[in-house]
Amino acid sequence: MATSADPGANSTPSPAGDGDAPLRFERVAIIGIGLIGSSLARVLRRDNLAGHIAVCARSHATLDVARALGLADSTTTDPRQVVEGADLVMLCTPLGTYAAIAEAMGPGLRAGCIVSDVGSAKRCVIRDVSPYLADGIHLVPGHPIAGTEHSGPEAGFAELFRDRFCVLTPPPGTDAAAVARVAALWRQAGMAVEILDADHHDLVLAITSHLPHLIAYTIVGTATDLEDHLKAEVIKFSAGGFRDFTRIAASDPVMWRDVFLTNRDAVLEALGRFSEDLAALQRAIRWGEGDRLEDLFRRTREIRRGVIAVRQDRPETDKESGPPAG
């Protein structure tokens, strides 16, 4: 639990990065060029952090877009090929693909290469990827906590990471220089970097991210199942709160499916706590216990003040809506 920092203080990243860690990579392989992968590629381009960017995706259409956007110096659909000669491999695909990709690319990794990722759960990365990495390959799992509800290479933008937190969860014994290089890269992208134990990360993120997404998907799904004329009105009157849930529930379906499957235990634990609390609130409504409701509604305001205090209340700068004013 080291390296805490205020991400707001970080908005002018120092070119020196993380102490002595060199910022520039010879050859970066990005596997998966969606919202996060393409945003990272834009940072690498903007700050000239990679001698060569090799991009791997399943579809040629996606690779064409990546090339057209100037994000790839070379492209391939083959994970084995993309990692050749790379000193940094960044996995930016849904978590459920990691094991197969690791198996495919493993034999192609050069000695000293750093393998990192951007997935929303971290224990499973160590479980699924490390068996395929030879000695001398450094696994540094990472999670830049930033995103929008948009998907695909066109949705990315370099500013996505600015003033957000990035969590790294290197297993005990990981090469410190490798960790420092990955940390320096994310700091250069504008993030505050924290080192956490993978299990601890997974529990915290189950509450801050996975459970909110699960609930948003559920409530929008409940509305989806309504009779048609009710549904039209639900959409029309969505400004009362529902709208925010529809935005969250428009996030990438495959990515989120894999988050829930790979971080199952922590999500079920968080869901259990939530369900108990919801049942208690339901009872308070049924029995007209106004004091109990008001008491909770007052306490939750404190958490909001905390979010504002660490400057995480600002919505993501979004390509489509432009930077938020003020």
Residues 278-297 that bind a copy of itself (CB under 8 A): 278, 281-282, 285-286, 288, 290, 293-294, 296-297
Token digits for 256? 């989120």
Question: Per rule CB under 8 A, is residue 204 in the interface with a copy of itself?
Answer: yes
CA distance 231 to 248: 18
Least distance CB 107 / a copy of itself (angstroms): 28
Q: Is 250 in the site for a copy of itself (CB under 8 A)?
A: yes
When asked if residue 303 is in the footprint of a copy of itself (CB under 8 A), the reply is yes
According to CB under 8 A, which one of 64, 103, 149, 197 is a site residue for a copy of itself? Answer: 149
DSSP state, residue 120? S
100 contributes a contact to a copy of itself by CB under 8 A: no
Gap between the Cα atoms of 188 and 171, Å rounded: 23
Across the beta sheet with 138-140, what order do the strands follow? 74-76, 50-56, 25-31, 88-91, 114-117, 138-140
Considering the rule CB under 8 A, would residue 77 count as an interface residue with a copy of itself?
no
From residue 26 to residue 65, the character string flagging contacts with a copy of itself as x (rule: CB under 8 A) and all else as - is ----------------------------------------
CB of 26 to a copy of itself, least distance (A): 32
CA distances from 96 to 85, 93, 129, 209, 250 (A): 25, 8, 11, 18, 20
Which of 74, 103, 154, 242 binds a copy of itself (CB under 8 A)? It is 242
d(CA 84, CA 76): 11
As measured in angstroms, the least distance from the Cβ of 297 to a copy of itself is 4
- List the Cα angle 98/163/247 in 5-degree steps: 65
One of 8, 214, 228, 269 touching a copy of itself (CB under 8 A): 214
The answer to the question of residue 70 lying near a copy of itself (CB under 8 A) is no
Q: How many CB atoms lie within 10 A of CB 100?
A: 13
Give residues with Cβ within 8 angstroms of 77, minimum separation 6.
56, 57, 58, 59, 60, 63
**Which is closer to a copy of itself, CB of 3 or CB of 81?**
3
Q: Does 99 bind a copy of itself (CB under 8 A)?
A: no
The token pair at 109 is 């990794």
Tell me the one-letter amino acid at 260. F
Number of shown-chain residues binding a copy of itself (CB under 8 A): 104
Cβ neighbour number for residue 103 with a 10 Å cutoff:
15
Is 244 a binder of a copy of itself (CB under 8 A)? yes
Residues between 79 and 98 that touch a copy of itself (CB under 8 A): 96
- Sole binder of a copy of itself in the list 178, 179, 185, 220 (CB under 8 A): 220
CB–CB of 89/27 below 8 Å?
no
Q: Assess 2 for contact with a copy of itself (CB under 8 A).
A: no
The CA distance from 97 to 255, in Å, is 10
* Contact pick of 145, 185, 193, 198 for a copy of itself (by CB under 8 A): 145
Shortest approach of a copy of itself to residue 34 CB, angstroms? 15
The window from 11-19, 64-72, 74-82, 300-308 that contacts a copy of itself (CB under 8 A) reads: 300-308
Among 72, 217, 228, 269, indicate the residue that binds a copy of itself (CB under 8 A).
217
Q: Minimal CA–CA distance to 269: which of 200, 221, 222, 219?
A: 200
